[in-house]
Amino acid sequence: MIVTTPNVDGAPPVGPLVDATPRPLPARIRLRGRDVELEPLHVRHAPELWAAAQGADESWAYMGYGPFADEAAMTRHVASFATTHDPMVWAVRPIATGVVSGWLSLMEIQPGNAAIELGNIWFGPRMQRTRAGTEAMFLLLRLAADELGYRRLVWKCNALNAPSRRAAARLGFEYEGTLRAHLVVKGRRRDTAFFAILADEWPRCRDAMVAWMDPSNFAAGGTAIRGMASFRS
């Protein structure tokens, strides 16, 4: 919803006043949920990540890096990736397996605008479409929105990346538009689709994620009984 301040004495319309206090930067801390643990990315995670990537070259299709030719190449990438502050990257360790099987980050961090992006999401095959994967994303969104007070949560992806677009919609991100010829990635033109959850939308999205992840929503075989969108309606 777009809100404007009414004209006063013929002045042009302007946006509403907001809390302009810069938000804190995220810290490299360990986060633990019911099904997953997030650990600040470290080069020691590289062997497990290399194992998780085997047979999954297609999972790198829309990433700006990968697939990696060998474990040494992935180790070099992880060692460098682990030192950046934006993006700030976490390794994902599902509690059921105890094995690191992916990573994700908070990035494009704008404390003054209270805007932050959930991105660089790479999950190995055993992490994809799992409750642990959903909880990994939820933990960082909750950190950004509830603990750090960011007002705009962003998701962006290659406009051709249908699985990422579906994931954004599933979590409650609203599609905002596509920037054409936005980037060149691996020598190819990338149109970028943008999605966001704003502060007043977050509680409804958060509560739907929590309800979906509750064990009572899963049948004995591990299949969700209700889809996440049904908890937002």
- Tens of pLDDT, residues 49-86: 999 999 999 999 999 999 999 999 999 999 999 999 99
Task: Provide the 8-state DSSP code for 62.
Answer: T
- Indicate the fold that domain 31-231 takes in CATH: Aminopeptidase (3.40.630)
Contacts of 102 (CB under 8 A, 6+ apart): 49, 52, 91, 92, 121, 122, 123, 124, 127, 133, 136
Single-letter code of the amino acid located at 32: R
Cα–Cα distance, 201 to 193 (Å, whole number): 19
pLDDT at 83 (0 to 100): 97
pLDDT confidence band for 1 (50 / 70 / 90) = low
pLDDT at 46 (0 to 100): 98
Q: Which residue has the higher pLDDT, 130 or 5?
A: 130
Q: What is the pTM of this model?
A: 0.94
Single-letter code of the amino acid located at 206: R
pLDDT at 4 over 90: no
Tell which residue, 144, 54, 55, has the closest CA to residue 105.
144
pLDDT confidence band for 5 (50 / 70 / 90) = low
Tell which residue, 168, 171, 163, 154, has the closest CA to residue 211.
171
pLDDT confidence band for 91 (50 / 70 / 90) = very high
Provide mean pLDDT across the span 19-24.
97
Exposed, middle or buried: residue 174 (CB in 10 Å: 0-12, 13-18, 19+)?
middle
Provide mean pLDDT across the span 134-152.
98
Contacts of 90 (CB under 8 A, 6+ apart): 31, 38, 39, 40, 41, 103, 104, 105, 136, 140
Mean of all residue pLDDT scores within the chain: 96
Tell which residue, 201, 199, 196, has the closest CA to residue 150.
199
Provide mean pLDDT across the span 201-219.
97
pLDDT at 178 over 80: yes
pLDDT at 2 over 80: no
